[in-house]
Amino acid sequence: MTVPGRRSSTFSRLLRHGFTDPSGAERLLDVPELSALRGDPVLLDALGATADPDLALRGLVRLVEAQPETERQTLTTTLLSAKPFRDRLLGVLGSSEALGDHLARHPRDWESLVTYEAADLHPGVAEFEQGLAEATDAVSLRVAYRRCLLAIAARDVCGTTDVAQAAAELADLATATLRAALAIARTAAPADAAMCRLAVIAMGKCGGHELNYVSDVDVIFVGEPAQEVGDQEGGEAKAIQAATRLASHLMRICSETTVEGTIWPVDANLRPEGRNGPLVRTLSSHLAYYQRWAKTWEFQALLKARAVAGDLELGAQYIDAVSPLVWQAAERENFVPDVQKMRRRVVDNIPAAQVERELKLGPGGLRDVEFAVQLLQLVHGRSDATLHSGTTLDALAALAAGGYVGRADASQLDEAYRFLRAMEHRIQLYRLRRTHLVPEDEADLRRLGRSLGLRTDPVADLNKEWKRHAAVVRRLHEKLFYRPLLDAVAQLAPGEIRLSPKAAGQRLEALGYADPAAALRHLEALASGVTRKAAIQRTLLPVLLGWFADSADPDAGLLGFRKVSDALGKTPWYLRLLRDEGAAAENLARVLSAGRLAPDLLLRAPEAVALLGDPEGLKPRDQDHLEQEVLAAVGRADDAEQAVAAARGVRRRELFRTAAADLIGSYGTEDNPREQDPGALVDRVGEAVTGLNAATIAGALRAAVRAEWGEELPTRFAVIGMGRFGGHELGYGSDADVLFVHEPREGVDEQEAAKAANRVVAEMRRLLQLPTADPPLLIDADLRPEGKSGPLVRTLKSYEAYYRRWSLVWESQALLRAEPMAGDRELGDRFIELVDPLRYPVEGLGEDAVREIRRLKARMESERLPRGADPTLHAKLGRGGLSDVEWTVQLLQMRHGWVEPGLRTTRTREALAAAHAAGLIPTEEAQTLDEAWVLATRVRNAVMLVRGRSGDTFPSAPRELAAVARYLGYEPGHVGEMVDDYRRITRRARAVVEELFYGA
């Protein structure tokens, strides 16, 4: 019996040795079976050195209790006298509950830890085969496998082997296990074994000699008939059937769960056609598939292929045959899109709730390093055989030695990868479960931290180290893929290895740059030299190159960045903004590589790049504020030309702001995820462009008036927006449809007033179209009474007389979009009062008027569609396009606007929503029309953004088409899906138009 004073002393000692449950530990130390060990300071010190002393002590008690009484003395004596054995046994018991369970079931297996006395003894496949030699069935194979695993884990947790060596030993043990399982399968089916040759090819981490404790073992099976069978009729087919039975039996032996648990699943899904393909193929069948059908990721997977079991001669023939195909993969036409898909798949496969705990797939995780190393191998391994390694760390070292990766970067990544793999190993070792998630429980984190040597504050130190290493990896494309490109063109210290021009060109080509030579020249111009500017550029460019490469036109992005940098390079805030404001650099990269319009606008006034770093910089400004700024600028100008130049400068800046916000909202960035509501994007663009055009016209009107009449025109004057302008639905390339109305001031002769009004209109149009670096604003007044043959400007009374006597139904329809935009607001409002009865006629439209509108629409469809245009893809006049939806909505407005106030709006989507709310359009049909209208509008905006000039149909150039697809939210390689979706959506919209508009 323990006296209280002694118990208190033991309790304190246990706390000092790292026990979290000293009371429980005291009780365990008091069990009779540990009488020989109780109180021994050597034992306490050894337990305190383990990852979890409480777990180690519990496991030790179970092991001692499981021993026959005659053997306990041997175990305890060995434990106290042999330090290497003591450290190995307790180290395993303190790290792995599962291996503690194994020792309790097989109490003599502790003896296997005594046999490895030499610290530098690392067994290979042959030694593991000896350890598995007596296994005759699935159960005995599992027991022998765990016994071998026990020895690997002991060396691992004691630090006798590093993480890379432990992974290699696990792969060698897997190789021996596959051989033993195949031998068992052959013994069970000797007839099948005699009929065929079967080779087992290890893939993935097993093939790469870097296996985890618990992982699927990826394999591919290659079969051939035995010589005497191959000469028989139908012999090959029978041999493959026999080989398939053997392969299936091998997989069951390894994968099935028995009383001893399971070894690991054997996964053959990397074979040609995946799980839908035959389990076993001949060598020629494999080659035929790879040469004709294989995708890029399959060649990436083959990079780790290694013959491990069965007919090793056949396996070697397989490796020799597929290796040349692996090193040609980077030359495939679809290499870049495939690489981009694989990159995105890493993150897309992570459940949202686990992304912060994922060691393998998460940002800065193991897969990031492995993927980047493999990508570099595929690019540069075409001409450098030293890179042909399936082991990640060996390949990384070869990349550094060859100058493809900076030595410092490679060293940091090597360290980070080893730490993350060690975390993964220790997490899996605890219960021998396949997981890559960092635990959340405090006790689990404490054990994990201590197992990695973090003893002061295990949990805090573990999280700190994990995040530090993940941060190194997170920018792995900067570290591994892009930075050496700068080393290829920058000035390096004498004797320092750098990427050759050829290798740099290969890498740029693999990234999707169409003109690698020009890209290298841009990099050299930006990053060469010893100036502070060049140093900052060398910091920025690796990240920017990655963002450019993720676009449809990397060359344009890099060229645009060089031009902007040339223009602003001497401006102190420019590079500082990009360096210190992460969002600014990414926003700039997205804008520069998304098309021509935004970069053209930016290059005319590069200082607008400051908008991209301001959190409020991308928010559109409302029309009233813009008009105040424009009018103030006009008031400060010396003459009309300077005044309108100032107004157009404001318009250019705001057009860039709108385009940049639209692109970033459509493409998304790390700080600004992709906008999920396309309708909201369309509305924002329409409102913004309409507002800035209205403010510009107001400025031009003020400039024209001041030039000749001072502050006041002899006649009151208003500009009425029509069409998309009046509907607040302007796109980037839209003209401004307008009507001009005036009213002579009191005492002014009507003819004099008319001359003044006409002169001011002519001057406004002249000023807005002056040739400058700013985009012109075209004013179109063709919707006025009598069209092009009618007066350009009318008085309000003249409009009233015309509409009362001569107005046609199409003119009433056009007036649905009329809204005052500039000039005398009160006069504009009276014009709207004048036209309201025309556009919303009391009692609605008569049948004659409805037939006339339908006739005009049908005529427009047959006559106005450009010759040769595809009617299924024309966004404005094509099937289910803008015209179809707008005419349908406008017909409802004219028929029902007099009783439904919600229909009295110039905006198409508002009117459509009001028609649905009033029960005039069923929900599904309203959604169909809205979706088609939004999509067609976005297509037109996309074409203008991408090409820099307006268009109503998809561009034909592949890069431009790809850029339109990215704007619309499609991932690379899905252009065909975009076109199919457009046709499907507009076809459905046309069916609704046929019903609602034509009454079909």
- Give me the half-sphere count of Cα atoms (radius 13 Å) on the Cβ side of residue 258: 14
Q: What one-character DSSP code corresponds to residue 18?
A: T
pLDDT of residue 3: 44
Interval 565-581 mean pLDDT: 82
Distance CA 112, CA 530 (A): 61
pLDDT (mean) for 381-393: 92
Q: Residue 119's pLDDT band (boundaries 50, 70, 90)?
A: very low
User: Given this model, what pLDDT does residue 413 score?
Assistant: 92
Instruction: Please state, as a whole number, how many other Cβ atoms lie within 10 Å of the Cβ of residue 999.
Output: 8
In this predicted structure, the answer to whether residue 229 has a pLDDT above a threshold of 50 is: yes
1 pLDDT tier (thresholds 50, 70, 90): very low
Q: How far apart are CA 503 and CA 488, in angstroms?
A: 9
Q: Using H for helix, E for strand and C for coil, what is the string for 846-913?
A: CHHHHHHHHHHHHHHHHHCCCCCCCCCCCCCCCCCCHHHHHHHHHHHHHHHCCCCHHHCCCCHHHHHH
Q: Is the pLDDT of residue 36 over 80?
A: no
Q: Is 273 left (phi over 0), alpha (psi -120 to 50) or beta?
A: left
Q: What is the pLDDT of residue 891?
A: 96
Using the predicted structure, report yes or no on whether residue 257 has a pLDDT greater than 90. no
For residue range 434-450, what is the model confidence (pLDDT) as tens digits? 998 999 999 999 999 99
Round to whole Å and give the CA distance between 93 and 153: 10
At 350 the pLDDT is: 73
pLDDT at 120: 43
Out of 29-38, 203-212, 750-759, which region has the weakest mean confidence (pLDDT)?
29-38
DSSP count for the chain of H helices, then E strands? 46, 10
* pLDDT given for residue 121 in this prediction: 60
> Cα dist. 341→297, 347, 513, 556 in Å?
10, 11, 17, 21
Alpha-carbon 669 to chain mean position: 9
Residue 331 has pLDDT above 50, yes or no: yes
Least confident of 531-535, 765-769, 848-852: 531-535
The rounded distance, in Å, linking the Cα atoms of 975 and 961 is 7
Mean pLDDT of 566-595: 84
Residue 263 has pLDDT above 90, yes or no: yes
What tens digit of pLDDT does each residue of 446-504 get?
A: 999 999 999 889 999 999 999 999 988 887 766 666 666 666 665 444 444 567 788 88
**Residues 51-73 pLDDT 10s:** 999 999 999 999 998 998 888 88
Q: Which two tokens stand for residue 217?
A: 């073992």
Produce one character per residue of 114-124: b if its CB has 16 or more CB atoms within 10 Å, e if not: eebeeeeebbe
φ and ψ at 783, to 5 degrees?
Answer: -90, 5
Query: 841 pLDDT band (50/70/90 cuts)?
Result: very high
In this prediction, residues 553-567 reach a mean pLDDT of: 92
Question: Is pTM beyond 0.75 here?
Answer: no
pLDDT in tens, 685-741: 999 999 999 999 999 999 999 988 888 899 999 999 999 999 999 999 888 999 999
Check residue 41 and give its pLDDT: 80
Q: Give the helix/strand (H/E) hosting 742.
A: strand 736-744
pLDDT tens-place string over residues 676-686: 788 999 999 99
The size of the chain, in residues, is: 1000
Run of H or E including 201? strand 196-202
Banded pLDDT at 538 (limits 50, 70, 90): confident
pLDDT of residue 652: 93
